[in-house]
Amino acid sequence: MGFGEYVGSELSTLGFYAQQHFLLVLYAVAAASVIALALGVLLHTNELTPESWTRKMRVGSRETALLLASAALTVPSLALFGLLQPVLGIGVAPALVGLTIYGTYPVLRNTVAGLSSVDPAVLDAARGMGLGPVRRMLRVQLPLAWPVILSGIRVATLILIGVAVVAAIVRGPGFGQPLFTGLGRLGAVNSFNQVLAGTLGCLAVAAVYEIAFFAIARLTTPRGIRVR
C-alpha cells in the first residue's frame, strides 16, 4: 500500500491522533506556563513575596527553581516517563505530568529574563507615581516582558511536540502511538507508513502551533513596543 493510499484509509484515525497530540501539548504547555509564570512573577520582586523573606531568600528560591527546571530538562525523556509510570500509572496522567516538567524551564527562564529586562527608569517612575507592587506588575512589568515570555512559551511548545511522541511508551495519546507501533514492527505491512505518518503528523501539529503563535504575538504585543 502506498503512503497516499494509507493516509486515505486511515484518515479518521490519524485525525484523532493529531487532535490528541495537539491537545496533550496544549494542556502541558498551559500547565507549565501557569507554574513558570507564577514562580517567575512571585520571585521577581520582594514586594510580592512574604515580608519575612529576605532578598537573599527570594533570589535563592528563584535560582533553585531555575536549576531544578533545567535539571529536569536534561533527564532523558524516555527515562522520565519510565520513572513516572510506577507513581502515575499509564495513559494521559504520566504523559501530561512529564511534558509539564519539560515545558517549565523555557517559560521560567524567559519570564525571569523578560521581567529583568524592564527599564529601571520605567519602574522608578511607576513607583514614584504611586503604583503599588501588584499594579506595577500587571500594568507595567508583565506587558513589557510579554514578548520575551511568549517566545519562551513558543519554544516550550516546540520542544513538547517532539517529546510528546516519547510519551507513547506509557501509552500517552498522540502520534507517538503509530510511530512506536511502526518502529516496533519495521518491515511488516504498513509499518513504514505508520512511522512516516507519525513524523509528518508532528510537523503538521507544529505548523499549526507556529501559525497560532504568530497570530497571538501580533495580537498581544502592545503597539507601543512594536513601533520603532
Partner 1 sequence: MSDDVRPTIARPMIARPTIAHPMIALQGITKTYPGQTRHAVAQLDFDVPDGNIVMLIGPSGCGKTTTLKMMNRLIEPTSGRILLDGEDVTGVDGDQLRRRIGYVIQQVGLFPHFTIADNIAVVPRILGWDRKRIDTRVDELLHLVGLEPRDFRDRHPRQLSGGQQQRVGVARGLAADPAVMLMDEPFGAIDPITRDRLQDEFLEIQRQIAKTICFVTHDLTEAVKLGDRIAVFGPGGVLQQYDTPEQILTHPANDFVAEFVGSGAAVRRLSLLELSRLELEQISVDGVDSPNGHPTYRADAAGRAVAWSHLPGVSEMPPLVTVPLSGTVYDAVDVMLDMRTPLVAVVDHEDRPQGALRWDALVRELPTKGRRP
Selected binder of partner 1 within 124, 188, 214, 215 (CB under 8 A): 124
> Whose Cβ is closer to partner 1: residue 64's or residue 220's?
220
Dihedral sign from CA coordinates of 123, 129, 133, 136:
negative
Question: Any contact of residue 112 with partner 1 (CB under 8 A)?
Answer: no
Residues in 140-159 that interact with partner 1 by CB under 8 A: 140, 143-144
- The minimum distance between CB 178 and partner 1, in angstroms, equals 45
Q: Which of 132, 184, 186, 220 binds partner 1 (CB under 8 A)?
A: 132
Written as one string, the DSSP assignment of the chain is --HHHHHHHTHHHHHHHHHHHHHHHHHHHHHHHHHHHHHHHHTT-GGGS-TT--HHHHHHHHHHHHHHHHHHHHS-HHHHHHHHHHHH-SSHHHHHHHHHHHHHHHHHHHHHHHHHTS-HHHHHHHHHTT--HHHIIIIIIHHHHHHHHHHHHHHHHHHHHHHHHHGGGGT-SSTHHHHHHHHHTTTSTTHHHHHHHHHHHHHHHHHHHHHHHHHHHHHHS-HHHH--
Nearer to partner 1, 87 or 227 (CB): 227
C-alpha cell at 189: 505491512
**Which residue number, 131 or 183, has a Cβ lying nearer to partner 1?**
131
123 binds partner 1 (CB under 8 A): yes
Tell me if 131 contacts partner 1 by CB under 8 A.
Answer: yes
Contact between 218 and partner 1 by CB under 8 A: the answer reads no
Q: Which is nearer to partner 1, 139 or 185 (CB)?
A: 139
The stretch near partner 1 (CB under 8 A) out of 9-17, 68-76, 117-125, 161-169 is 117-125
The window from 78-86, 91-99, 104-112, 139-147 that contacts partner 1 (CB under 8 A) reads 139-147
> Per CB under 8 A, does 125 bind partner 1?
yes
C-alpha grid cell for residue 139?
A: 500594568
Binding positions for partner 1, rule: CB under 8 A: 119, 121-132, 135, 139-140, 143-144, 222-225, 227-228
